[in-house]
Amino acid sequence: MENKFITFLRNAFPFIVLIVLWRLSIPFWNPAGILAIIPIFYCSFVRPVPWFSPIAVLFCFLIDYRFDTLFYWTIMYCLFYAINGFQSFFDLTRVDRNALNEFMIFFGLSTLILSLFHLNLANLMRAVWLFAWVSTLYIPITALIKKVYDDR
């Protein structure tokens, strides 16, 4: 019985991390729960988790709701999901360092486009801070997910 419970918790761990990171929304450190984009990217593209994509779209929409952006993160996720469908060109499941560079391209480009909508120095500095902070936290969060979920 205990083994089944631990297996269930390991399988549910990516979903739990997603919910926790979205709920821990703090204006400076985690605005609108944007850190939830890390498990969304990792568990959708790098280490695909079964049934994670519909939940990822839902949480992208919830991030949009908190950010007051109209389907922006949802569209960026769906666009990257479509681009990732060309597996003959990209294979993020075989990339080293948990696909940190690819995540930085995805998140950096998305953040840059978002900051260009209202171009001023404060928005650019906020975008740089957000990019640096989320990119820095990508490695420990993905390492934790990888350790718990893949350690079977």
Q: Which pTM value belongs to this model?
A: 0.93
What pLDDT score was predicted for residue 2? 65
Q: By the 8 A CB rule, do 67 and 73 touch?
A: yes
pLDDT digits (tens, 9 = 90+) for 74-124: 999 999 999 888 766 667 777 888 899 999 999 999 999 999 988 999 999
Mean pLDDT of 131-148: 96
pLDDT at 143 over 90: yes
- In terms of Cβ atoms closer than 10 Å to its own Cβ (0-12, 13-18, 19+), residue 87 is exposed
